[in-house]
Amino acid sequence: MTDGSFDLVVVGSGIAGLYAALQAHEHGASVLVVTKGAVDEASTRHAQGGIAAAVGPGDSPDAHLDDTIAAGAGLVDEAAARILVHEAAPRIADLVRYGVHFDAADGAVALGREAAHSTARILHAGGDSTGLEIELSLSSLARREGVTILEHTLANRVVVEDGRARAVEVFDTVDGRHARYEGGHILIATGGAGQMYRVTTNPPISTGDGVALAYDSGAEIIDMEFTQFHPTALVLPGVPVFLISEAVRGEGARLFNAHGDRYMLRYDDRAELASRDVVARATHREMRETGADHVLLDITDRDGAWLAARFPQIYRHCLDAGIDMARARVPVSPAAHYTMGGVRTNTWGETTVPDLFAVGEVACTGVHGANRLASNSLLETVVFAHRTVERLFRAGGDVPAPPARTPDARALPPLDGEREVPTVEGLKRLMWDHVAIERAGKGLATASAQLTRWAAAVPTPRDRAGYELRALLTCARIATAAALTREESRGAHCRTDFPELREDWRRHLVYRTTEGGA
């Protein structure tokens, strides 16, 4: 029984889902987009700094590639990253064609600077409102083009029959009804899993649903030990965490600890523009050593008019919180920001389950390795969404080989009989305390045992919160198991008991279910 049948069923309406839907629609495919909140509820709308592309004078895709590989700490898939940087310009052109207005200066596109980029190469919109501009442009175009979008519709199962993904089962979060939509192909574009952590820049939708959907259907999950922490979030009691973009440091902002010491000078020659893992870890250590719950970001050498023009959203947000960035240093601290791991795909969006595809933050193409280069995420979504749709709907051409299953894929620790009912707050606290910027074997083992007890007692979901808790548990279990297994420090994964990078660990950890699945 089915409630509808489409050439492509897309789960998620951030940049990845909407861009893929629009591209497939252009190919004449029938497309359904299901999304668990309102159409524009997505991480995408919160993106600030912008989208990286080597389009400026003197820049080149190869320079962008070098920076991407250097940031990724030995785990970047070079072939995938080469595609990322070389296919950037036409994908930016697509976004412009879809109505995105990037900022310009002196008749040329304006380019910002972010950490670990060797040059200014970040296109932005509305100063610091790049994501909002993209999300609203794509969602309004998708509506105008007549793409079918079901809001408040949460995907809770990918149906696999005869070894292929055939359909998506959904739950209407308003009236509680269940439905099933068949797709010639299923595309997961559900974003990241930042909500695993007590402190995160991610919006409430980022609960790792797509990783859990894919894992439960038998697809492989890779690199989940690598969560990126952003060093500069404004964390105030009782209000959502708010990001202070790396682009602010790109414009010259400096970081000071509680003693007034510009500490980044002691950690890295690039100081505040060292790669994100380095700045987040240094900031975390300075806070611990000074006993403070924040450090201070200083851009007071810019005046209010300049700040209001370049960073209108951030400047206004800080003013509303009682901080005038032109006069006072901003208290900032690290927050979970980006899920580098996810559903393992090849460079055509294919997972290890036939007809199941994944694109965007939920996917792991290998371009980020152990530490994502700033503003490569929005770029990754459009480059690989484009290739996925080409793979599916372009007439002719070779069909690439799907990714082979990993022979030594791992399984999660078995449920050993001990049971305890989980709560989302408990999970977020556990992950923040034991699986965050710095981790060690003892804390990871504690977290793993607790997660196993919770997984054994997780209630059958009856509402959106229930489904999200179940998804978060799956993500947390994989992330913790992988972090416990990886006995080294690399990129965003810092083991205090194994502080060295180890050449024999230049490899990936892959998880695949042993129960059910494809």
Contact set for ligand FAD, span 46-65 (CB under 6 A): 46-51
Contact set for ligand FAD, span 102-141 (CB under 6 A): 130-131
Q: Could you count the other beta carbons within 10 Å of the beta carbon of residue 390?
A: 14
| C-alpha triplet 342, 406, 502: angle, nearest 5° | 75
Q: Which of 12, 14, 17, 49 binds ligand SIN (CB under 6 A)?
A: 49
Closest by CA position to 202, among listed 95, 339, 297, 365: 339
Segment interacting with ligand SIN (CB under 6 A) among 14-22, 83-91, 172-180, 373-381: 373-381
> What is the rounded distance in angstroms from the CA atom of residue 343 to the CA atom of residue 345?
6
Rule CB under 6 A: say whether 98 interacts with ligand FAD.
no
The item of ligand FAD, ligand SIN, none sharing an interface with residue 347, based on CB under 5 to 8 Å by kind, is none
Contact set for ligand FAD, span 330-359 (CB under 6 A): 338
DSSP-assigned beta bridge partners for residue 333: 233
Rule CB under 6 A: say whether 491 interacts with ligand SIN.
no
Rule CB under 6 A: say whether 378 interacts with ligand FAD.
yes
Contact set for ligand FAD, span 158-217 (CB under 6 A): 189-192, 201-202, 205-206, 209
- What φ, ψ does residue 9 adopt, rounded to 5°? -105, 120
- Composition of the chain by helix, strand, coil, percent to 5: 35, 20, 45
Rule CB under 6 A: say whether 72 interacts with ligand FAD.
no
Burial of 292 (0-12, 13-18, 19+ CB in 10 A): middle
In 420-464, the DSSP E strands lie at 438-439
Rule CB under 6 A: say whether 243 interacts with ligand FAD.
yes
* Residue whose Cβ sits closest to ligand SIN: 49
The item of ligand FAD, ligand SIN, none sharing an interface with residue 34, based on CB under 5 to 8 Å by kind, is ligand FAD
Whether the CB-CB separation of 215 and 513 falls below 8 Å is answered with: yes
Q: If binding means CB under 6 A, how many residues of this protein chain bind ligand FAD?
A: 44
**Minimum distance, C-beta of residue 49 to ligand SIN, in the bound complex (Å):** 3
* Residue with token string 């996917």: 363
Q: What 3-state class would DSSP assign to 15?
A: helix
The item of ligand SIN, ligand FAD, none sharing an interface with residue 44, based on CB under 5 to 8 Å by kind, is ligand FAD
Whether the CB-CB separation of 366 and 398 falls below 8 Å is answered with: no
Q: What 3-state class would DSSP assign to 509?
A: coil
Q: Which of 45, 121, 276, 329 is catalytic?
A: 276
Rule CB under 6 A: say whether 13 interacts with ligand FAD.
yes
> What is the rounded distance in angstroms from the CA atom of residue 234 to the CA atom of residue 286?
17
| C-alpha triplet 415, 416, 421: angle, nearest 5° | 65
Nearer to ligand SIN, 24 or 193 (CB): 193
Is 276 a residue of the active site?
Answer: yes
Q: Annotated catalytic sites, by residue?
A: 276
Binding site for ligand FAD (CB under 6 A): 11-17, 34-37, 41-44, 46-51, 130-131, 154-155, 189-192, 201-202, 205-206, 209, 243, 338, 360-362, 375-378, 381
Binding site for ligand SIN (CB under 6 A): 48-49, 245-247, 338, 374-375, 377
